[in-house]
Homo-oligomer: A and B are copies of this chain.
Amino acid sequence: MRVFGIDCGTEITGFGVVDSDDTGRVPRLVCKAMGAIRMKKALTTAERLLQVFQELDAQLARWNPDAVAIEEVFYSVNAKSALKLGQVRGVALMAAASHGILVAEYAPLKIKSSVVGYGLAKKEQMQFMVARLLELTELPEPADVADALAVAICHIHTAQTIAAQEVGR
C-alpha cells in the first residue's frame, strides 16, 4: 500500500510518500519521497494556490498512491486563518480527486497517538518518531514534512488495524 500524506499550511505545504511492505511478518514502512511546497511571496493568492495544485498534481502523477491522507482541521484557529488554510486545503483535496484517489482524514490527536503513542506529542517528538519509523538518517525538515509523513503513517496503521480486525472475525 502506498500512501501520500499532505500537511496543508498557509505558507508551507508538506507532503510525503510512504509505502508499507507487507511481505514480512512485521510490515515495514518505507519513505519513497518527501518535500515542502513553499508558496512564493511574489505571487498573488490565486497564483500561489495554482502553484500548490501543480506541485501536488505532479507528485501524485509521479507516485500514483493508493490513498491520500490529510489532517482534519483544528478549529481553534480564528475564522480568517481557517479561510486561508481552507483555500489551500480545497486545492489539495481537489488534486487528490482529480487523480481519482480517495482521501482519508485524521484528527491531530489520532495522528500523534498513532505515531508517537500519545496525543499530546510535541513537534520535535513527532519528527523524531517519524524518522525512526521510516529509518531516516536525518529528521524530516521543516516540521510540515514530518507532519505529512505522520498522517501517511497514521493511515497505514489504521488500515492495518482494520484488516487485522476483519481477519479476526
The prevalent SS among residues of A at the interface is: helix
A83, B73: Cβ atoms closer than 8 Å: yes
B residues less than 8 Å from A137 (CB atoms): none
A45: nearest residue on chain B (CB-CB)? B93
CB of A153 within 8 Å of the partner chain: no
Count of identical protomers in the assembly: 2
CB of A47 within 8 Å of the partner chain: yes
B89, A83: Cβ atoms closer than 8 Å: yes
CB of A131 within 8 Å of the partner chain: no
A90, B49: Cβ atoms closer than 8 Å: yes
Which A residues have a C-beta under 8 Å from some C-beta of B?
44-47, 49-50, 53, 73, 75-91, 93-94, 96-98, 102-103
Give 17 A-B contacts (CB < 8 Å), ordered by A residue: A44-B103, A46-B93, A46-B96, A46-B97, A46-B103, A53-B98, A76-B79, A77-B79, A79-B79, A79-B82, A82-B82, A83-B83, A86-B87, A86-B89, A88-B90, A90-B90, A91-B94
